[in-house]
Amino acid sequence: MDYRIQLAKRMLTNKKGSLIGAVLAVSIGILVIHVNFVIFQGLYDAIVRDLKDYRFGDILVTNEEDYIDKSDIGLINWFERNPYVVAATSRLDASASINATKLGKRTEEFRIPVVGVDPLRDTQASTIHNTVGDGQYVFARNSLVMGSRVARDLGGVEVGDNVKLKFVDRHGEDQLKRFVVTGITSSAGGQGLDGSVIVHIDTLRSILDRTDETGAILVKLNDPTKAEEIRDFFLRSFPSDDFKAETIEESAETTLSGFRSGIALINLIGYFGMMSSAFAIVTIQMMLVSNKTREIGIMRAIGAKRKDILLLFLFQGMIIGAIGAAAGTGLGLAYTFYAKETKMQFQGSLGLEVTYNWEKIGQTALTSFGLAIIASIYPAYRATRLLPVEAMRTV
């Protein structure tokens, strides 16, 4: 082993306090990055997951101009022939005024979004039915699943209550329809249809007089990485139709862009934290140079060159960086494992979607290691400037 590495190792292990301090600085810097990633990226991924599972699917097909007038069953069958497609379903969106009468008292009328679903296919292509905690999903033509926020705003509507919805059909005429509330939907994190009501798609088509039309086709994949490929294949297969097909990132862009900026900012703060740990290493290394001034003078006196002294302290930085990066990464992975296994969530909000991003983990460790070396450059340079005669006079 090069004597400089051996000496660097020996100097550090004989100054355990400084070594522990420097290693802690590096590893805490890495741990902060990991915790940020688990929480904020986990939150973002959970939101994407819920948006995908409840509202947009892996691919969302709509019409650029208007409603889809091609047979929805034909399109669904086309998708389901693809080996990467788990299921596809139709949806139709509208809005209506709603009011309810409870114990003889009529609540104030207000507008709400209405989502028409195919109850059989929808349970395969989405998981919105799992958010119905009270009652059951839409099955009958006059049944309605109400979002929890809507139920609250209507004065505490419950399963079994009647509600009246007023629509405006395609001809501009008012259409009134009474529904029975069969279920209340509530999603952790609120990415579901908590602010809407869900009805049978055929009921909605009939009300709006859009019998052969569909608002959107939701497609669920068994491999989300194939979304763009299947989207492009679909668009190439139907070139003359005015279809618009979007992946989850595209269809939820408005919702997600705000989160992405927030996450980027949080990550930046994390990296600033890591840079602070670099300053701690500079301080500790300067202290080590100061403590070893006499030894540096001796080494120079017996023939060590400035380059040897520089490398000695750079090797110390590498040792600190390597141990710190290993410790920090270990702690970070342990935290990630814990978050994943316990399906971590905060105060009953949506559970984090925790993943191991190996590229980011490796990048963080390498960045931290590099910063430890960079932080050692100035102290190492200062060490080389010491004159042997003066250095050896240091007590």
> What type of residue sits at position 183?
G
Binding flags for other proteins, 254-293, as an x/- string (CB under 8 A): ----------------------------------------
Looking at the Cβ atoms of 366 and 387, the one nearer to other proteins is 387
**Closest distance to other proteins from the beta carbon of 317 (Å):** 17
> How many whole angstroms separate alpha carbon 325 and alpha carbon 380?
21
3-state SS of 216-274? Answer: EEEEEECCHHHHHHHHHHHHHHCCCCCEEEEEHHHHCHHHHHHHHHHHHHHHHHHHHHH
Of residues 294, 327, 367, 378, which one binds other proteins by CB under 8 A?
294
DSSP per-residue codes, 81-103: TSTTEEEEEEEEEEEEEEEEEET
Number of H helices, E strands in the chain: 14, 11
Residues 50-109 that bind other proteins (CB under 8 A): none
Binding flags for other proteins, 7-36, as an x/- string (CB under 8 A): x--xx--x----------------------
Q: Which stretch binds other proteins (CB under 8 A): 4-12, 17-25, 119-127, 156-164?
A: 4-12
Of residues 299, 319, 354, 380, which one binds other proteins by CB under 8 A?
299
Looking at the Cβ atoms of 263 and 296, the one nearer to other proteins is 296
| DSSP letter (8 states) at residue 130 | G
Contact 79, 234 (CB under 8 A): yes
Looking at the Cβ atoms of 57 and 297, the one nearer to other proteins is 297
Please give the biggest Cα pair distance in the chain: 101
301 lines the binding site for other proteins (CB under 8 A): yes
> How many whole angstroms separate alpha carbon 93 and alpha carbon 210?
11
3 lines the binding site for other proteins (CB under 8 A): yes
Q: For strand 216-221 and strand 59-63, is the pairing parallel, antiparallel, or unpaired? A: antiparallel
Of residues 140, 159, 168, 298, which one binds other proteins by CB under 8 A?
298
Binding flags for other proteins, 371-390, as an x/- string (CB under 8 A): -----------------xx-
Q: Which stretch binds other proteins (CB under 8 A): 155-163, 168-176, 188-196, 305-313?
A: 305-313
The tokens describing 386, both together, are 């010491």
- β-partners of residue 93 are 115
306 lines the binding site for other proteins (CB under 8 A): yes
* Contacting positions for other proteins (CB under 8 A): 3, 7, 10-11, 14, 294-295, 297-308, 388-389, 392
